Structures are given as structure tokens and as C-alpha cells.
Amino acid sequence: MNPKLLFWVPAALRMVLALLGVSIVWYLFGATYALGIAFVLMAMMVFVQLSYLFQLSNWLDNPQSAKLPDGWGAWTSIFARLYRMRRDDEKNQAELTEWLARFRQAMHLLPDGVVIMDDVLFLEWCNPAAEKHLGLTHERDKGMRVTNLIRSPEFMDYIILGRYDQPLTITFRNRKLIVQIIPFENRRQILVTHDVTETERIEMMRRDFIANASHELRTPLTVIVGFLEIASAELDLDATTRAAHLKLMTEQGHRMQHLIEDMLTLSRLESVDYPLRPEPVDIKKLMQQVLRDAKGLSAGKHEIKMECNGPDVLGSYDELYSAFGNLASNAVRYTPAGGSIALRWQDGPAGPQFIAQDTGIGISQEHISRLTERFYRVDKSRSRETQGTGLGLAIVKHVLLRHGGTLAIQSVADKGSSFIVSMPKSVVTPLQGELLVK
Ligand code: ADP
């Protein structure tokens, strides 16, 4: 029914009924009684209306704690509608609060920085990533002008030129950031920051790696091509010279082969498609193999000892062989003839340890932290003379990363070095672990 009718029809009916009642009293008892009753009825109605108005005003002042009555007459539907409105309002409020909480949580987790500013760049709000990227603190810097907080000439120029359709790359607080201002609403702007420091670092490493690898491959290739050119230009080379050239070419070929093998090993170790599948590793067999290789490389020029007292472990035999083999081969290659080398597998304070100790040329302190970088060599010519690829320690590092191990290097120039691999207790095979506890 029409809401107007719904309101007026019952009200009019009530009035008619009241008038009818008063008329009956008038007819039966006379005008005085009728007027008296009419007055009482009016007074009661006024009182009821006032009382409902009072309760309504009370409720409006304090909608949480005050209660609305069920009401009478037209008030019933008014109160019911008010109740419904309040319930809907509470529901909307709860939904809004939930959305706000979700939005805040998303903003907190966002790796990109978001700064909300007004039209004249005064900071209103920022998320933790923006605090980290720009060195801001929301509580402290709220209401400050962003240009006073981000003191970068490039950022100033960006603001002055106002070409916000293009992002800007700045270096700020040792970070490389891509920033962009996006105007939104009428009088607000968002500053978005994206940290590309790590991406840049990886990109630079990739570029360096390609440059280094190409350089390493080009050198032996130049030698081989040089000899091939001589051979094709001078067909009547004597047998001795030809044999010498072939020997040198073979050596360079082997060098390239080692390099490519090491690069492939490294890329496999880094690949996520090639996860470690731990298997029981027979350490005695592995150490014997490492010792045999080291003796072969040394060709009797060094005194090489081996001790194997530690437990068997779970891991990849091939990878551990490659890591320990690289350390043993380094010990041989960087120790002058007559020196001694000790290879040990033993129980350490926090788990088993592999130690390759030599009395070789040693490494001065400033190089030690960089040794596991690809192609980093202290002495390039010595590394090449001894068939080094410059990737051995990088391989060791990656194998240890995959096995949860660590590498410590102790070295004194001209005295010798100790490369200490510490494996976690968790890689000890369970059976051996139990036996050790006994
Ligand atoms: P390389 O193939 O050149 O030996 P590595 O990655 O195995 O490459 O080692 C990096 C560098 O660390 C070597 O070039 C060498 O200068 C230094 N180095 C490694 N092991 C030893 C060692 N036992 N004694 C002295 N220097 C070492």
C-alpha cells in the first residue's frame, strides 16, 4: 500500500473512533463529561507523543546503549524502520572496518612503497615498504612536505617538471628505486616506489658473468685459431713443431672443456628444477676418491695425508665429491712442490667437518671474502697455469648452500691455508647418529 495511506488511514481511524466515543458520552452523559473525556484523551495522546519523542531523542544521542520502545500507532513503524536502519548501518560499518583492515594488511605486505599525499605533496599516509625505501616514519613525518623528506635532486626535478606519466629511477639511501607519482581523486596524489636494487645487482652479476665467461673462453680459442691458421698457411711444418702445436691446442681445448663443465655444474646447482635428493653418502669411499685425485694431480710433488674419522652423511655424493675435490685440488695447485697437504673428515663442534689444509702460497686477508665469487682469482696466471677455471670455490659455495653447510677460510700469505667445511648435524645418517650417541 502507498506509505502515505499506510500512515494516514490508521491515524484517521483512531481519530474517528475517539470522536465516536466522545459523541456517545456526550449523548449519554452530557457535554461536560464528553469535554472532560476529550481533554483527558488529548492529554494522554500528547503525553504519549512527548514520551516517544523524548525516548527518540535519547536514542539519537546514544544509539549504542539506549533502547527504543516498540511504540504505538505510527511510532511502531517509525521505530521499526529506525532499528532496521541502525542494524544496516552497523552491518555496513562492520564490512567497512573489515575491508579497511584487509586493505591495511595488503598495504603492509605490499613489497612496493605507497605514499598518499595531498595536492601540495604533504604526507598523509604511507605503508611500511615506503618507510623502508624512503626512510620515512609515518607517525613522525605525517603532515610534512614530501620534497623535504626525499632529498634527491632528480626527484625535485621530477616534481618541478611534473611529467608524472613517466616513472623516474633514482638512487636514494643506497637503493635504486623506480618512483612514480599518480594523481587521484581531486586533491590527492600517490607516490609509488619500487625497489630494484636486487634486480640491478643480479643483472650486473649476469652481465659480469657473461663478460668473464666470454673472456675466459676467448683466450684459449684465440690460441687454437692461431695455431690452425699457422697450420693452414704453412703446410710443410716439420713434425716436431706440428706436435708441439697440437699439444698446445689440446691443452687449450681441455681448458675450454673444464670451463664449460664448471659453468654447467654451477648452473645446475643454482637451478630450482634440480633440487637436492639426499641419499646416504659413503664418506670413506668419497675421501679415498678425493685423495686419489689429489695424488694424481700432485704427481708425487707433495706429501698428502688423509684422515677419515667422521660419520657418513645424507646428501649428494657427486656434489660433495665435486666440492671436496675442488678444495683438495686447490690445495695441491696452490702449494709449491715439497709442501704438504692434509685432508680430513672429522666430527666438529656442530656437525661433521671436511678440512683441506696446505702449506702453500696462502691468501692475504683482503681477498678472502671475495674468493667464492665467480672468476675471482688472487693470481690469475697461476690459476690458469694450473688449469684453474676460477669457478671452483663458487661451486663449493653452491654445493654447501644446498647441503646447509658453511665454508670458513683461514689463511696466511706464504704460510698456507685451511678451508673448513662445516656440515650441520642433521645431515648425519640416522643409523650413524645413533651409533655415535652410544
Ligand atoms: P681457480 O680455478 O682459479 O683455482 P677457485 O674458485 O677454486 O678458482 O679459487 C679462487 C681463487 O682462490 C684462486 O684463483 C686462488 O687465487 C685462491 N685459492 C683457492 N684455494 C687456494 C689455496 N688453497 N691456497 C691459495 N689460494 C687459493
Q: Is 360 in the pocket of ligand 1 (CB under 6 A)?
A: yes
Assess whether the C-beta atom of 325 lies below 6 angstroms from ligand 1: no
Q: What is the mean pLDDT of residues 287-312?
A: 95
Atom 13 (ligand 1) nearest CA: 377
335 Cβ closer than 6 Å to some ligand 1 atom: no
122-159 per-position pLDDT tens digit: 999 999 999 999 999 989 999 999 999 999 999 999 99
Residue 229 banded pLDDT, cuts 50, 70, 90: very high
Q: How confident is the model at residue 129, as a pLDDT?
A: 95
Say which range, 1-15, 220-234, 273-287, 404-418, has the weakest mean pLDDT: 1-15
Distance 101 CA to ligand 1 centre (A): 55
Q: How confident is the model at residue 384 (pLDDT cuts 50, 70, 90)?
A: confident
- What is the predicted pLDDT for the residue at 179? 95
Q: How far is the CA of 372 from the centre of ligand 1 (A)?
A: 9
Nearest CA to ligand 1 atom 20: 330
For residue 363, how far is its CA from the centre of ligand 1 (angstroms)? 9
Predicted structure pTM score: 0.68
Would you state the cell numbers that stand for residue 412, as one nine-digit string? Answer: 696466511
Q: Is the CB of 358 under 6 A from ligand 1?
A: yes
Please determine, for residue 161, whether its predicted confidence score (pLDDT) is greater than 80. yes
The protein residue whose alpha carbon is closest to atom 23 in ligand 1 is: 331
- 322 ligand 1 Cβ < 6 A: no
For the sheet with 340-348, list strands across it. Answer: 303-308, 340-348, 351-358, 416-422, 406-412
Of 153 and 381, more confident: 153
Dihedral pair phi/psi, residue 195, rounded to 5°:
-85, 115
Q: Can you give the pLDDT at residue 436?
A: 41
Residue 383 Cβ < 6 Å to ligand 1:
yes
- Per the CB < 8 A criterion, the answer to whether 317 and 281 are in contact is yes
pLDDT of 434 strictly over 80: no
- pLDDT (0 to 100) of residue 426: 85
As given in the structure block, the three cell numbers for residue 311 are: 660419520
Q: Is 357 a pocket residue for ligand 1 (Cβ < 6 Å)?
A: no
For the 279-437 domain, the top CATH level (class) is: alpha beta
Mean pLDDT within 365-388: 87
Cβ–ligand 1 contact at 195 (below 6 Å) = no
Find the helix or strand (DSSP H, E) in which 169 lies. strand 168-172
pLDDT at 186 over 50: yes
The confidence score (pLDDT) of residue 431 equals 56
Query: What is residue 438's predicted lDDT score, i.e. its pLDDT?
Result: 36
pLDDT at 172: 92
Per-residue pLDDT, 427: 82
Pick 67 or 175 by higher pLDDT.
Answer: 175
What are the strands of the beta sheet with 188-195, ordered from one edge? 123-126, 113-118, 188-195, 175-184, 168-172
- Cβ–ligand 1 distance for 393 under 6 Å, the answer yes
Strand, helix or coil for residue 234: coil
Q: For the chain, first and last CA: distance in Å?
A: 91
Question: Which fold, 110-195?
Answer: Beta-Lactamase (3.30.450)
Residue 1: which pLDDT band, with cuts at 50, 70 and 90?
low
**CATH number attached to the domain at 216-270:** 1.10.287.130
Instruction: Round to whole Å and give the CA distance between 409 and 341.
Output: 15
Mean pLDDT on 156-185: 92
Same fold, 110-195 and 216-270: no
Q: How far is the CA of 331 from the centre of ligand 1 (A)?
A: 8
Would the pLDDT of 259 be above 90? yes
CB burial readout 73-105, b (16+ within 10 A) else e: ebbeeebeebeeeeeeeeeeeeeeeeeeeeeee
pLDDT higher at 71 or 177:
177
Q: What are the grid coordinates assigned to 422, written together?
A: 662445516
Domain boundaries, the chain: 3-103, 110-195, 216-270, 279-437
Report pLDDT for 339.
96
Question: Contact, 287 vs 308, CB < 8 A?
Answer: yes
Over residues 91-115, mean pLDDT? 94
Going from the Cα of 382 to the center of ligand 1, the distance in angstroms, rounded, reads 9
Q: Is the pLDDT of residue 432 over 80?
A: no
Nearest residue (CA) to ligand 1, atom 11: 377
The fraction of the chain above a pLDDT of 70, given in percent, is: 98
For ligand 1, atom 25: residue with the closest CA: 362
CB 385 less than 6 A from any atom of ligand 1? no
Q: Which residue is it, cell 645446475?
A: 268
How many C-beta neighbours within 10 Å does residue 71 have? 17
Q: Once rounded to an integer, what is the mean pLDDT over residues 9-35?
A: 90
The Cα angle at residue 427 between residues 288 and 272, in degrees rounded to 5: 100
Alpha-carbon distance 417 to 334, whole Å?
Answer: 9
pLDDT digits (tens, 9 = 90+) for 313-372: 999 999 999 999 999 999 999 999 999 999 999 998 889 999 999 999 999 999 999 999
